[in-house]
Amino acid sequence: MIIGVILLVALIPFIIVHFYKNAFKRLENFPPGPPSLPLYGAYWIVLLKEIENLAVAFSKLGKEYKTKIVGLYLGAIPSIVINDPNLIKEMLNREEFDGRNDIIIARLRSYWKKLGIFFTDGYYWHVQRRFSLRYLRDSGFGRRDETLESVVANEIKDMLDMRISGPKYRAEKELVKGELVYLPFYLAVPFINGMLHVFARTTLARPDYHVLWDMARFTLLFQRSTNDLGGALSLTPWLKDVMPNYSGYTGLKTGNQYLLDFFRKLIDDVMATHDESHDRHFLDVYIRKMKEEVRQKQRTTFSVDQLVLTCTDYMFPAASAVQSVLTMLIEHILMRPHIQDKIHEEIDRIIGRDRLPNLDDRKNLPYTEACIREAMRYDTLVPLGVPHRAMADTNIGGYDIPENTLVAANFTNLHMDKDVWGDPENFRPERYIVDGKLQLSCDKSLPFGAGRRLCAGETFARQTMFQVFAAFMQAFHVSTADGKPITKPSKRIQGIITTIPEFWIRVTSRT
């Protein structure tokens, strides 16, 4: 016993020296950054800097180490976070940074395979992304489409009617109570049904809206279940077995499963009536292609599982992100009543109240559009983006980056950079307007990323957010539920995306 204690004491200096050497061991010409600690590497230090917002933590580390690129080890994984706006844009537009890391979150949401669009790379990603975008465009995804615009407009009418005429169905009564509506879910249906039309030329009718609201709730559960794409769960996947709830695994799995089950049933129903001689919509086109390649015994990336994940990937932002953006925008309006006055004046002057705003009005409502853009800048939706992977040894910003390095862009730093924006701490839609017109050259934000990994749903998101927000503000005056003014924004929830806690607002008809 005594000998064992003596040996342990004798080993302590060697253990300390070993950990010390590993803590400061770095690849040659790798970007500067914090030392590595046991198990999670520098992740411990990142959490200590700012546990509730990792993008802010990396901004602090960049200043501390006087570097535009922070280099660190997350566990054993070499990683860099780019804080500089110009280097962020360079990275996003370089093909060697188009890879994705094989993390547990990607696997658990895709039947433990590498499927979908978000988390795949190389040949598989290239084929599936190109095919899906080529044929989704036929239903208006990625371009202006009058039929899709009309579908969204009809859903908006139902959304407005829920408040103006009162709720008709049980699920509606949970979101509308007199003059009060519950955000963000009240805003969700036009986005989700719009995407269902894109996939299958179908929408769920108003009695079935509860299915769509459940989709929004479960999607939001997934988005909020863990910070920054998994953190500890990605570095130590075994946490899913020992602490599934605390690690976020349970919420991730439960939230994602609802979408998988929904699209599996939808696709099964389509396959049961599929006719290869007649394509009704995108799902038909995909199924026909899948069957052709199976018959020809080609090397194929097409499968039912992949189709389920493709639909799930494209639906996730529509079911959670875009209405969260509008909800944060509405909170900013509640804090700054003069913004609401300007929006109302612009809409009344340009459109009036006899018809809904349409996409032709977008260029004539610069202030309304500028408010949406400012909301996406001020509250960065994906603060560190979806991390990339270096697909080969390369360099950026004068530093050497080895193959398989995790690469993240600090979009929060870009959106709050004083050199870019002047007064980024102020919510000021006027920054995008010159001589009464919207100037896109003034918008240096990248809410949808850039390069080949640019969010494929940018056009759909921007168009539909305008339709929903402009119609909502045309119809209503908003105020706080209790009549008390808001002096500061609510605390943001930093998960995979930035969201805002649900809340009630008072919505008074302007008609």
pLDDT digits (tens, 9 = 90+) for 385-402: 999 999 999 999 999 999
Task: Determine the average pLDDT of the residues in 16-34.
Answer: 70
User: Residue 25 CB: number of other CB atoms within 10 A?
Assistant: 10
**Confidence at 235, pLDDT banded by 50, 70, 90:** confident
What is the reported pLDDT for 220?
Answer: 96
Q: Could you tell me if 399 and 69 are in contact, meaning their C-beta atoms sit under 8 angstroms apart?
A: yes
SS3 49: helix
pLDDT of amino acid 276:
87
Judge whether residue 331 has pLDDT over 80: yes
Q: What is the identity of the amino acid at 494? A: Q
Q: Which of 454, 450, 368, 444 is nearest to 413 (CA)?
A: 444
Residue 112 has pLDDT above 70, yes or no: yes
For residue 310, the model assigns a pLDDT of 97
**What are the φ and ψ backbone dihedral angles of 483, each rounded to 5 degrees?**
80, -5
Which residue reads 């994705």 in tokens? 100
At residue 365, does pLDDT exceed 90? Answer: yes
Q: Is the pLDDT of residue 115 over 70?
A: yes
Q: Within a domain: residue 5?
A: no
| Orientation of helix 337-350 relative to helix 458-475, angle to 10° | 90
Sign for the CA dihedral angle at 408, 414, 416, 419 comes to positive
Nearest to 234 by CA among 89, 106, 57: 106
Query: What confidence tens digit (pLDDT) does each residue in 354-363 have?
Result: 999 999 999 9
Q: Which pLDDT belongs to residue 189?
A: 98
| Cα→Cα distances 249→81, 308, 471, Å | 25, 21, 38
* pLDDT at residue number 23: 58
Number of domains the chain contains:
1
Tell me, yes or no, whether 239 lies in a domain: yes
**CA gap 477, 352 in Å, rounded:** 15
Judge whether 101 lies within some domain.
no
Residue 231 has pLDDT above 60, yes or no: yes
The overall average pLDDT reported for the chain is 92
Q: What is the pLDDT of residue 9?
A: 52
Q: Is the pLDDT assigned to residue 488 strictly greater than 60?
A: yes
- Domain of residue 455, CATH code: 1.10.630.10
Q: Is there a contact between 189 and 158 (Cβ–Cβ < 8 Å)?
A: yes
Predicted confidence at residue 297, as pLDDT, reads: 80
> What type of residue is 211?
V
442 is an annotated ligand-binding site residue: no
Residue 439 forms part of a structural domain: yes
61-70, 235-244, 417-426: least confident range: 235-244
Q: Residue 323 to residues 169, 316, 427: CA-CA distances in angstroms?
A: 22, 11, 19
Q: What is the DSSP string of 127-148?
A: HHHHHHHHHHGGGTTTS--HHH
Higher pLDDT, 259 or 18: 259
Residue 17 has pLDDT above 50, yes or no: no
Whether 465 shows a pLDDT value over 70: the answer reads yes
Print the domain residue range for 176. 115-381+416-509
Cis before 184 (ω within 30): yes
| CA pair distance 211, 193, nearest whole angstrom | 11
* Alpha-carbon span 222 to 24, nearest angstrom: 36
Give the pLDDT band of residue 14 (cuts 50, 70, 90): very low
Q: What is the 3-state secondary structure (H, E, C) of 321-346?
A: HHHHHHHHHHHHHHHCHHHHHHHHHH
One-character DSSP codes across 269-324: HHHHT--TT---SHHHHHHHHHHHHHHTT------HHHHHHHHHHHHHIIIIIHHH
pLDDT(323) > 90: yes
pLDDT at residue number 205? 97
How far is the C-alpha of 190 from the C-alpha of 153, rounded, in Å?
8
Asked, for residue 401, whether it belongs to a domain, the answer is no
Please report which confidence band the pLDDT of residue 20 belongs to, taking 50, 70 and 90 as the band edges: very low
The structure tokens listed for 361 are: 């009005």
The residue ranking higher by pLDDT, 479 or 9, is: 479
Neighbours of 259 (CB within 10 A): 22
- Give pLDDT, residue 18: 40
The secondary element (H helix, E strand) that includes residue 438 is: strand 437-438
State mean pLDDT over 141-168: 96
What tens digit of pLDDT does each residue of 48-66 get?
998 889 999 999 999 999 9
- Read off the pLDDT band of 79 (50, 70, 90): very high
- Contacts of 448 by beta carbon, 8 Å cutoff, 6+ apart: 454, 455, 457, 458, 461
Task: Say yes or no to pLDDT of 188 above 90.
Answer: yes
In a domain, 324, yes or no: yes
pLDDT band at 6 (very low <50, low <70, confident <90, very high): low
**DSSP-based three-state secondary structure for 58:** helix
Q: Give the list of residues 6+ apart from residue 506 with CB closer than 8 angstroms, or none.
A: 179, 180, 478, 479, 480, 481, 483
Closest by CA position to 304, among listed 288, 289, 287, 292:
287
DSSP H or E segment with residue 6 = helix 2-24
In a domain, 347, yes or no: yes
Dmax over CA atoms of the chain, in Å, equals 91
Element (H, E) at 217: helix 209-224
How does residue 246 score in pLDDT terms, banded at 50, 70 and 90?
confident
Backbone phi, then psi, for 234, in 5-degree steps?
-70, -35
Tokens representing 56 are: 């802010």
Residue 464 in any domain: the answer is yes
**Termini Cα distance of the chain:** 86
Stretch 349-374: mean pLDDT, rounded? 97
The answer to whether residues 92 and 449 touch, using CB atoms and an 8 Å cutoff, is yes
* Contacts (Cβ under 8 Å, ≥6 apart) of 271: 287, 304
**Residue 230: per-residue pLDDT:** 58
Which burial class, exposed, middle or buried, applies to 208 when counting CB atoms under 10 A from its CB (0-12, 13-18, 19+)?
A: exposed
Q: How far apart are CA 230 and CA 321, in angstroms?
A: 18
